[in-house]
Amino acid sequence: MTNDLIRRSDFDGIALLTLANPPVNALGLAVRQRLTALTAELEADESVRAVVLTAEGRVFVGGADIAEFDRPPEAPHLPDVIAAIEASRKPWIAALNGAALGGGAELALGCHYRIFADTARLGLPETSLGLIPGAGGTQRLPRRIGLAPAIEVITAGRTLSAAEAREAGLADRIAAGELIPEALAFARTLDGALPRPASAAPLADPGHAFWDEARARIARAARGNPAPTAALEAIRAGVAEGFAAGLRAERETFLRLRASDEAAALRHLFFAERAALRPAALRGIEPVPLTRAGVIGGGTMGSGIAAALAAAGLEVRLTETGPEALAAGLERVEAIFEAQVKRGLTDRAGATERMARVTGTVGLGALADCDLVIEAVFEDLAVKRRVFEELVRLCGPEAILATNTSYLDPERIVEGLPHPHRFIALHFFSPAQVMKLLEIVPLAATAPRILATGVALAARLGKIPVQAGNGEGFIGNRILKRYRAEAEALLLAGATPTEIDEAMRAFGLGMGPFEMQDMAGLDIAFRAREAARALGQDLPEGPGDRLVRAGRLGRKSGGGWYDYAPGSRLPQPSPEAAALIAPLVTPGARPSGTEIADRLIAAMAEEGQRICDEGLAQSPSDIDLVEVHGYGFPRHKGGPMFHAARKTRSRTSGA
Ligand code: 3H9
């Protein structure tokens, strides 16, 4: 069986090796063994003048086998496999049929020549897995394309298209027609000629200032992931001490990072994200094909959803209640596409095309022939209910009707309405055109095909779908509620909003809980608490209630947990807020920075576990996906469940 991993066929002195290790031709142990044996065999075979290495499928090589990284490395190691190819007396030509990523790019760089199919690309995404290239990438790429471009590709995990690779000097050819015949023909023209090896290319040291600036810039962008700066150091070692020393530094760093918590966290997310896109329970269920989607409501959420759908190629009908509201909604959509052009996410023509897919209409009449309608109106049961009553009259029984509610019970929105198999909740996160999370909440009667369509829609929008049970706040907002309650408990234990926010930023979140509430406004949660009190719930007066009663609603009222100078977003400690909170604080030991972060993350993980135990999430890794993609939890910490489990493990193992 192993021998099938790489097939050899000979064409008049040219050996063609075809790697076939689906799904992505990863360079697992068996492939490395086979490649090692073949390299020796071809070296000794006098009938062979050159070797073309290609692969089957849409990918050339997706890298090392990530699944092996939880175990100790096993020989033959990839750097040695590649070194043997580079040292061959016969030219090796990599014929890239598709993406060459990570170890795959390094394998291609170790070959003497590279021919790209025009759809092929080459990249070193290791830093996104908390690693650095570990098979020569940090040494060979700078020597092939120059120091500054290589630093960018490696530290940002950027991928070069075939045209960019050609421009950079990495692609000797881009195949105009069929890749393999062209690669074989190219091999024949070489007549055994070998280029100067990458190791012989000189690299000048640009000096301290260059490295210091690069380090600071890369560390800022890495937001706590140690890999990008570690990659820079490996590149620098090779520049300062030469190719061989650079390879040793690279390997040492790669192996150290491979065993790190950050890399384990990023691997966990890599597999969790892919599993989320292919839920086992939906295997074999065909989603409904979608071409036309309606979005009801042109506010921040509705316009963001409309923009996301149009960017993914769907024809969108955006509806509002009147012409003014509609014009404002369409302007919001347009502004989103403008911003995408500015950020380089699309070009002007792309933005025009996206906007052309969005039609605005007043009233729901134009939604009758939509395959999918997403309601994003005011968070009020009666209003949403009226929308659905009208939708079921207008749309055919097969149209999928979705609510984007955050806190209402979707069952109550559609209670008693006909054809309940097609109702579902699709909970987007704001801004919907940016945030990757989509919570998908099937109702009791939702058909599996409708659920599968939600998952397929998320994939099409480039989002991560997480199936949530229909409980209050679904997954994310329920955990948020608990997190906020714990943050307030910390306040009452004597920590200040500044200390708590700083602790969470130091942990890796973009914002702490109090600055976030000041940004969003304290009044929404306050009103929810008051409503619960009116219904007889016994909710003690908390610090947030005291602030709102004193008119401190957050940034919009000039102050909340913090004070803000007029026109400024910079939170300043607030003596007034402190005085309002003070009567509630219990005297005693005040929690420290790490205790604060530990308690807040533990609260999230505990709530996450409860959600799993209640059957409202499919797995702990789904909780992690929700927090990472919906709430800014740092990727390199893997999510609260992963983080908590890892912490418990290292405590019990005494590490
Ligand atoms: C590395 O190379 C280190 C070296 O520098 C040094 C070594 C010494 N390994 O994404 P998809 C699985 S680090 C194992 O849905 P697509 C994936 O889990 C690596 N498995 O397909 C999924 O499995 P399942 C650096 C892998 O067509 C299936 O393949 N490389 C690997 O949308 C399909 O995946 C990277 O970071 C792997 N390397 O996209 C590249 N890759 O079906 C990571 C994928 O059971 N990979 N799987 O759910 C990718 O970016 C995409 O998979 C790729 C294909 C673009 C290749």
In order, the DSSP letters of 242-297 are: -HHHHHHHHHHHHHHHHTSHHHHHHHHHHHHHHHHHS-GGGTTPPPPP--EEEEE-
Structure tokens at 259: 């065993």
Q: Is residue 136 lining ligand 1, measured as CB closer than 6 Å? A: no
| CB environment 281-291: b (16+ within 10 A), e (fewer) | ebeebebbebe
Q: What is the dihedral of CA 558, 564, 565, 570, to 10 degrees?
A: -140
Q: Is residue 81 lining ligand 1, measured as CB closer than 6 Å? A: no
Residues marked active site are found at 106, 126
- What pLDDT score was predicted for residue 249? 97
Structure tokens at 377: 């109106």
Structure tokens at 133: 């290239």
Q: Is residue 101 lining ligand 1, measured as CB closer than 6 Å? A: yes
Q: Where are the beta strands (DSSP E) in 321-412?
A: 358-362, 372-375, 400-403
Q: Is residue 24 lining ligand 1, measured as CB closer than 6 Å? A: yes
* Residue with CA closest to ligand 1 atom 5: 133
Q: Is residue 120 lining ligand 1, measured as CB closer than 6 Å? A: no
Average pLDDT over residues 111-128: 97
Span from the CA of 63 to the centroid of ligand 1 (angstroms): 7
CB atoms inside a 10 Å sphere around CB 650: 11
Span from the CA of 256 to the centroid of ligand 1 (angstroms): 21
Do residues 147 and 174 make contact, with C-beta atoms less than 8 angstroms apart?
A: no
By most ligand atoms within 8 Å of CB, the mutation choice from 19, 24, 109 for ligand 1 is: 24
Q: Is the peptide bond before 73 cis (omega within 30 degrees of 0)?
A: no
% of the chain exceeding 70 in pLDDT: 99
Instruction: Please provide the average confidence, as pLDDT, over all residues in the chain.
Output: 95
Kindly report the CA angle at 645 between 639 and 650, in degrees rounded to 5?
120
Q: What CA–CA distance (Å, rounded) separates 619 from 634?
A: 19
Q: What is the DSSP letter of 470?
A: S
Q: What CA–CA distance (Å, rounded) separates 51 from 6?
A: 13
Q: What CA–CA distance (Å, rounded) separates 490 from 499?
A: 10
Whole-angstrom distance between the N-terminal and C-terminal Cα of the chain? 41
Span from the CA of 121 to the centroid of ligand 1 (angstroms): 14
Ligand 1 atom at minimal distance to the Cα of residue 128: 36
Residue 195 pLDDT > 60: yes
Which residue in 233, 237, 239 sits closest to 214, CA to CA?
A: 233
CB atoms inside a 10 Å sphere around CB 610: 15
Say which residue the tokens 């071809």 belong to.
Answer: 42
Structure tokens at 255: 């192996």
Q: Is residue 129 lining ligand 1, measured as CB closer than 6 Å? A: yes
At 620, the pLDDT band (50, 70, 90 cuts) reads very high
Do residues 451 and 422 make contact, with C-beta atoms less than 8 angstroms apart?
A: no
Average pLDDT over residues 290-316: 97
Which residue in 77, 19, 106 sits closest to 258, CA to CA?
A: 77
- What pLDDT score was predicted for residue 653? 67
At 1, the pLDDT band (50, 70, 90 cuts) reads very low
Span from the CA of 101 to the centroid of ligand 1 (angstroms): 8
The verdict on pTM exceeding 0.95 is no
Residue 541, CA atoms < 13 Å, CB-side half-sphere: 9
Tens-digit pLDDT profile for residues 434-477: 999 999 999 999 999 999 999 999 999 999 999 999 999 999 99
Span from the CA of 270 to the centroid of ligand 1 (angstroms): 8
Span from the CA of 451 to the centroid of ligand 1 (angstroms): 26
Q: Is residue 98 lining ligand 1, measured as CB closer than 6 Å? A: no
Q: Is residue 62 lining ligand 1, measured as CB closer than 6 Å? A: yes
Q: What CA–CA distance (Å, rounded) separates 654 from 151?
A: 38
* Residue with CA closest to ligand 1 atom 50: 62
- Name the pairing type of β-strands 159-161 and 121-123: antiparallel
Span from the CA of 343 to the centroid of ligand 1 (angstroms): 27
Which residue in 1, 19, 47, 3 sits closest to 180, CA to CA?
A: 19
The region of weakest confidence among 286-290, 438-442, 644-648 is: 644-648
Do residues 139 and 99 make contact, with C-beta atoms less than 8 angstroms apart?
A: no
- What pLDDT score was predicted for residue 3? 53
**Residues forming a β-bridge with 192:** none
Ligand 1 atom at minimal distance to the Cα of residue 271: 18
Which residue in 349, 616, 652, 636 sits closest to 479, CA to CA?
A: 616
Q: Is residue 263 lining ligand 1, measured as CB closer than 6 Å? A: no
Residue 388 pLDDT > 70: yes
- What pLDDT score was predicted for residue 2? 44
Sign of CA dihedral 635, 641, 645, 648: positive
Tens-digit pLDDT profile for residues 496-535: 999 999 999 999 998 999 999 999 899 988 988 898 899 9
Q: Is residue 23 lining ligand 1, measured as CB closer than 6 Å? A: yes
